[in-house]
Homo-oligomer: A and B are copies of this chain.
C-alpha cells in the first residue's frame, strides 16, 4: 500500500499542467484526483463531478460557512473551491492524491494538510511558452502578453514548492512526475 500523500500541482498558464496530469492519471489509476466545486456554468464538453462539481452560489456559501473547503477563491465573479472531505477520506484510506491548483491556493493547502507535497511545473522558457500560447490560438495578442507577464511573476513562486519539473518534453515531464509520486508515496522509510 502506498503512503498517503497529497501532491499539489501548480503551474503558470500554458506550462502544460492539464495534459501532464491527464497522462499521469492514466499511468497511475489508483491516484485520487480532487474534483473542485464551482459556481460557474459548465463549458461545452465538461461533465458534472468529473471536471467540476457544478453548484449554486447559495450552496457554495453554506459550504464556506460549514468549513467544507480546504481553500476557495473568487475569479471574475465565479467561486471555486476544493472540498476537504474527499481528500481527507482518501488520505485516511491510505491513498495517494493529486490536486491541481493556483499558487495561492497551494500555499493554503501546505499550511492545512501536513501530508501535502508541492510540485511546480515550469514552462521550458518564456519564448516556448509564448509559441505554445500562439499555437493554441485561444488568446488575443493582449491576452498572450498578459499571460506571459503573469507567467514571469508566477515562476518566482516556484521556491515555495518542494519539486520543480521543467516541461520542455512532455514524455520526460510525465516520467519525472510519476517518479516523484512513486518515490514520495513509497511506504518504506529511508534508512
- Can you list 5 pairs linking A and B with CB atoms under 8 Å apart? A57-B153, A58-B156, A61-B160, A65-B159, A74-B104
Is A143 part of the binding interface, using a Cβ–Cβ cutoff of 8 Å?
Answer: no
Residues from chain B with a CB closer than 8 A to the CB of A86 are none
Residues from chain B with a CB closer than 8 A to the CB of A74 are 104
Is A27 part of the binding interface, using a Cβ–Cβ cutoff of 8 Å?
Answer: no
Instruction: Annotate A70-96 by CB proximity to B: 1 below 8 A, 0 otherwise.
Output: 001110010000000000000000000
- Which of B64, B73, B104, B149 touches A72 (beta carbons < 8 Å)? B104
Give how many copies assemble into the complex: 2
* Measured CA separation A1–B183 after assembly (Å): 54
* Measured CA separation A159–B58 after assembly (Å): 11
- Given known contacts A72-B104, A104-B72, A108-B108, A150 and B77 CB-to-CB distance under 8 angstroms: yes
Q: Are A61 and B157 in contact (CB under 8 A)?
A: yes
Residues from chain B with a CB closer than 8 A to the CB of A157 are 61, 64
Q: Are A107 and B64 in contact (CB under 8 A)?
A: yes
* Measured CA separation A159–B111 after assembly (Å): 26
Nearest-neighbor residue (CB-CB) of A150 within chain B: B77
